Structure 1
Amino acid sequence: MSTKEKILAKALELFNEKGYNHITTRHIAAELSISPGNLHYHFKHSEDITKILFEELTLKMDDLLNKMKKIENKTLGDLYTLTSSTCEIFYSYRFIFINFIDILNKIPEVKTQYEGINFNRKEEFQLIFSDLQKNDIFKKDIPEFITNSLTEQIFIIADNWLTHNRLISKLNKKTAIQHYTILQMNLFYPLFNKEQQKLYEQQYIR
């Protein structure tokens, strides 16, 4: 692992554990037993590190969604895997969501990138929903305003569940991912056909 990679890994660990606003480049350098000058050779400011970590998060989500889009005959299990894997990725970068407003205000590039991602993700989810209808997972007669609302509901939950867990639920990683995966999956339940509703209850509701 290169020095740059070590810095990014340690920064992610410290941001997640201690909080974004409490960690500086000096803290990261001290944890790695390197000089601040050595760290600043790679990253001048903590904001530069955050931009890279946000890009990592984005690329992982791009890869996950691309895999989902390539599946021709999508199943209930595929939808669950997408939702669970999204929760797991977000948990790995949880400081971004817990400190979302601070980061967006402090780093204009991340704010611009996030706005673009929201637009693109909406189109991607609409395509996935359309495929789920074609594969008889979702009902055929879902009004467009419902699927449009569903996309926004997913974004609201996805961007805020980590804060809710930190403040209210206080679940450990494994339990939190399971809990919030089901919470998001339950949004889809009214859209499943009766056969898929029964399958969902049997496989995922305990």
Structure 2
Amino acid sequence: MKTKDKILFKALELFNEIGYTTITTRHIAADLNISPGNLHYHFRHSEDIIKILFAELVLKMDDLLNGMKKKELKTLEDLYRFTFSTCEIFYSYRFIFVNFVDILKKIPEIRSQYEEIHASRKEEFQLIFSGFQKNNILKKNVPDFILDGLIQQIFIIADNWLTHNRLILKLDKEAAVHHYTLLQMNLFYPFLNKEQQTLYEHHYITRK
């Protein structure tokens, strides 16, 4: 692994476990047993590291969304796996969400990216939900304003569940990903066709 990659890997680990506001580039260098000068050759400031970690997060979500959009025959299990995988990715970059407001204020480039991503993600989710309606997973007679509201609810939970877990539930990774996946999946329940509601109850709720 190249030094730059080692720095990113270690920074992500320390930001997640100890805290973004506590860890400096000197801490990262010391933990890697390299000189601060060596680290600063690759990254002048911790903000530069965070920009790349945020870009990694976005890229992983892009890949996940693109995979879902390409699926012709979408199933309830696809929806569950998509939601589960999203939670796993977000957990891997949890320091970003726990410190979201502070990071957006401190790094204007990320704030601009986030605003653009938020708009494009809404269109992508609308397209994905349309596919689930065509495959008779979601009801076809759901008003647009209700679907728009559902997407906003998903975004709000997705951006904030890690903070809720850290403050309230304090679940470890496996339990947290499972719990918040179901919490988000429950938002879809009223919009599932009757057959899919029964499948959801038996396959996911009774086994939780």
What is the TM-score when the length of structure 1 is the normalising length? 1.00
Partner of 1:126: 126
Residues 44-193 of structure 1 aligned to structure 2 (within 5 Å): 44-193=44-193
1:140 CA displacement:
1.1
5+ residue gaps, structure 1: none
Q: How far is 1:47 from its partner?
A: 0.0
3-state SS of 2:138 partner: coil
State the partner residue of 1:34: 34
**Other structure's SS at 1:141 match:** coil
Q: RMSD of aligned C-alpha atoms?
A: 0.3
Rounded Cα–Cα distance in structure 2 between residues aligned with 1:204 and 1:169: 21
Tell me the CA shift for residue 125 of structure 1. 0.2
List per-residue Cα deviations over 1:64-98 (Å, max 9, x = no partner): 00000000010000000000000000000000000
Once the two structures are superposed, what CA deviation does each residue of 1:73-129 show, in whole Å capped at 9, x if it has no partner? 100000000000000000000000000011000000000000000000000000011
What is the TM-score normalised by the length of structure 2?
0.99
Structure 2 unaligned spans of 5+: none
Match of 1:43 in 2: 43
Helix, strand or coil for the counterpart of 2:187?
helix
Q: Percent identity?
A: 74
| Structure-2 separation of matches of 1:128 and 1:195 | 20
**Whole-angstrom distance in 2 between the partners of 1:23 and 1:158:** 25
- Amino acid in structure 1 at the alignment position of 2:149: S
Paired with 1:169 and 1:129, the residues of 2 have a C-alpha distance of 30
Q: Which aligned runs of 4 or more in structure 1 are off by greater than 4 angstroms?
A: none
Q: Distance in 1 between matches of 2:16 and 2:121?
A: 25
CA distance in 2: counterparts of 1:69 and 1:134, whole angstroms:
13
Letter in 1 for 2:125: F
Deviations 1:135-189 (A, max 9, x none): 0000111011110001100000000000000000100000000000000000000
Report the CA distance between 1:202 and its aligned residue: 0.7
